[in-house]
Structure 1
């Protein structure tokens, strides 16, 4: 049916072509379909061959690596080697590249970058084998998105002097940034897989603190749940934090005791803050038991650690946010921003976590005229396009 459709397509120009197949009977036709799209000067090309249950490894044909029309390219494989031909790669119009579940060597990545002089946005989701990502010669590249987890190492060494926007979901594996001198906006979290029961608390704190050092001059920051929990863990242990020049800060997390110390510290160390947004989004996957066990091994009392500086105890379960907890949280935010020349504070609660009616919430006397609190009726989950 697909071949018949292509035979009926007579236009010499194609804007979008999305090929998604995991059926073995389609394998003999894939190269022909890809070649057809390229012959029509397609601008937005997506090749999706992700199938975790398949043993077949699709190999992208050599002719694919020389193209002057594609501006946006998405490739999803089943951890297949993305082997760039030794001779040549030329994607002279490519501006946006998304690679997912690819085994990508340092050499292949270097060829892609060298052959894509107009590249502006690069997304690498679970790209194994890649170790060194050197973007120093990609002068137009402004947006970098990287997802890593406990099973996928790459990349581990990143040089990105021209990047303006960074979205990084890191893992419990080493990753070093050498140069982020142009960075203006960053969104960070940590991938923690609960079923593995792996929680490298010391490593994670060291990694987060090193990352925060590199973010001191970034004006727009977003921290998600696990990242905030590690900041909180370091805070209750008395680890010193840098000061930040952030002006626009967004925190995406459920509201419970394991993020409160970190939120307090971030607000206290951000004297230039102009806009604060707190969204109730469940990105927290670190087990409470793992955190408390770690504190006990450090000779600390978890109950005392998680009490706020004002002596307030917050809910220890994400699903049990009571009215008193929400009120205390608002008070905590307002107190820690009271001396700031802040333009806007927004707190977005999520009804799925509340154990009270929103109308029952007692909002304290406000010291900020531009403060607002609202209720979201839809679950907020992380979106790849969010910043």
Structure 2
């Protein structure tokens, strides 16, 4: 007996919701009993490359699925498309689909605009067009997770943004230009309940100071692939974890690093490319008073090595530090920095030292 086909519609829909969308569509054509199964899917993943069809056919498939959807809520809506610059797939179509998800109380929204050019994933060489998503997307009262990936296209923010229940936000390869709207976007005014913020390889132009102020923020990751040209004013009194990966140590203005439990800093640039070595690495370490896990990777130690005031500027020892991970350069004399750091970590329990690219020590004390 075919027991699955005789299950209540709600159970069938729940089962099919765990399948990739392609397989869910296949299930809907198995028989008349399954023809309705895609009408109330709570997870909708529209990934253009995954359908392996023409852009026109992809658009038709999305339109048909959404037109047959009933009034049930959508938990997750994912849309991944290549740049929409032709008659088959335009910004109007994309915004229509996003608006549909918003009307169905979407909770997790993932918007990916992929790039046809691999070099765009590293940096935008050519001027990129401006994109304006529906204003309702920036005032959605049901969104708990928002991911935007736009291949360095300039995202136009509306004057007012408000995500009352948003807890996680990931911005990847977004181009910001307006300082006032950008700083307003990264504040409690827009996201009063934000816990996790991930900013990865975004372009921030015409901004001297990036203000990030979230009272409920607990996890913050900032990845950059260009030289740092602006200051970061960070206000997050409940921040527990901070990760920074960039060419050079960031210029951070913060009085909240004392709350950190875990911190990671990785420098990917060459310190000898700079005429003057900044005091940014030293200022960062001065704020990490209560951290339990600390990772200083890439060229970060070498930035400290070139700072003649480093050893005379550290605060009292890091009594809370239990795990220290260091990335060191075998071609530079960084032993003095290593010894100095260890002397300021009296309660360390585990130490990992990597002489790039080989793990040299992984000690448990």
TM-score bracket for the superposition, by shorter chain length: 0.5 to 0.7
**Hey, what does 2:337 align to over in structure 1?**
262
Change beyond 3 A, Cα 1:173–1:267: closer
Question: How many Å separate the matches in 1 of 2:171 and 2:347?
Answer: 37
CA shift, 1:170, in A, is: 4.1
Q: Deviations over 1:33-62 (max 9, x none)?
A: 211222222211111124228844322222
CA shift, 1:135, in A, is: 4.2
**Hey, what does 1:188 align to over in structure 2?**
265
Question: How many Å separate the matches in 2 of 1:16 and 1:89?
Answer: 21
Secondary structure of 2:152's counterpart equals strand
**Hey, what does 2:55 align to over in structure 1?**
none
CA shift, 1:155, in A, is: 5.0
Using structure 1 for the length normalisation, give the TM-score.
Answer: 0.63
Question: How many Å separate the matches in 1 of 2:337 and 2:76?
Answer: 44
Q: Deviations over 1:46-86 (max 9, x none)?
A: 11124228844322222211101111111122333333222
8 A Cα contact 1:46 1:73, kept in partner: yes
8 A Cα contact 2:231 2:253, kept in partner: no
Question: How many Å separate the matches in 2 of 1:229 and 1:173?
Answer: 11
Task: Give yes or no for the alignment of 1:102 onto 2:102.
Answer: no
Q: Deviations over 1:201-254 (max 9, x none)?
A: 6425x221121111133232122122133334448x984352323422231536
Using structure 2 for the length normalisation, give the TM-score.
Answer: 0.66
**Hey, what does 2:293 align to over in structure 1?**
220
Secondary structure of 1:230's counterpart equals helix
Question: How many Å separate the matches in 2 of 1:57 and 1:244?
Answer: 47
Q: Deviations over 1:97-126 (max 9, x none)?
A: 111222333322343321211111122223
Query: Gapped runs of 5+ residues in structure 2?
Result: 1-60
Q: How many residues align?
A: 283
Query: Gapped runs of 5+ residues in structure 1?
Result: 283-317, 331-345, 348-369, 372-387
CA shift, 1:261, in A, is: 4.0
Q: CA RMSD in A?
A: 3.2
Secondary structure of 2:299's counterpart equals helix
8 A Cα contact 2:226 2:246, kept in partner: no
8 A Cα contact 1:126 1:147, kept in partner: yes
CA shift, 1:95, in A, is: 0.5
Question: Structure 2 residue aligned with 1:245, among 311, 315, 319?
Answer: 319
8 A Cα contact 1:169 1:190, kept in partner: yes
The answer to which of 98-107 and 155-164 deviates more is: 155-164
Question: How many Å separate the matches in 1 of 2:262 and 2:275?
Answer: 26
Change beyond 3 A, Cα 1:245–1:106: farther
